Structure 1
Amino acid sequence: MFGLRKTLSSLFTRHRVDEAWFDHLEELLIKADVGVATSTFLITSLRKSAKEHAITNSEDLKAVLVSELSHHLSDLEPPENPLNPSAIHAKPEVWLIVGVNGAGKTTSIGKLCHHFQAQGKSVL
């Protein structure tokens, strides 16, 4: 995620918004594993906002992207039993964590280990 954050930060720093800029942003979102459908949705929404509000500066469009992402993510349903290892009765439990480079897998694994250790679980 830090790789995406750094890349997006540079994209939203004093750039003129044009078709090439939108194409580059869409490519970055897809490469960051945001997904084609979500990336297309976000780019369409950003293009519409830029046109409606005559936005030509990428810094001004950043707030629109943050708002769209927040709205899009708030529509997602939370999982029924998030992080409930007691629902799994097999011993040992094995968790597979996958993601693109820079997505924060190692950091997340550390946080999961701490969470389970705080519950008295044994973590390897």
Structure 2
Amino acid sequence: MFKGLFSKDTPAALDTIDNLLKSNDRGDAERVLEQWQSFLGDMICAKYDNPTGIINSDFAHDIDGFSAKIYDSDLIARLTEEIKLTVLGLRRNTHPRLAMAALAIRMRRVINQSP
């Protein structure tokens, strides 16, 4: 699903989120967001040539590709901030699938701003 944010268009990314989060379980959505934060941390390691810091080593090739699309570490910080806001929204009783769809749209906007 995270990969879809970088490699698919927005409607396809939204469809992936909808298929993944069939339940309305906030816990499921929060677990996905924790994993996404982990991927963003890995992207920082890949961007700054620290392969030993990559946690999700099974996805190292994909992470290298994602980090190549990010020209500025500020974009990773913006993506992290979007995730944080979504976690807060979930804790304030925002519908999980709606919150995740909105996040995907905002993250795609940030990613598409990267040259």
- Give the TM-score category using the shorter length: 0.3 to 0.5
The two structures have a TM-score, normalised by structure 2, of 0.39
**Which protein shows a greater Rg?**
1
The two structures have a TM-score, normalised by structure 1, of 0.37
Structure with greater helix share of residues: 2
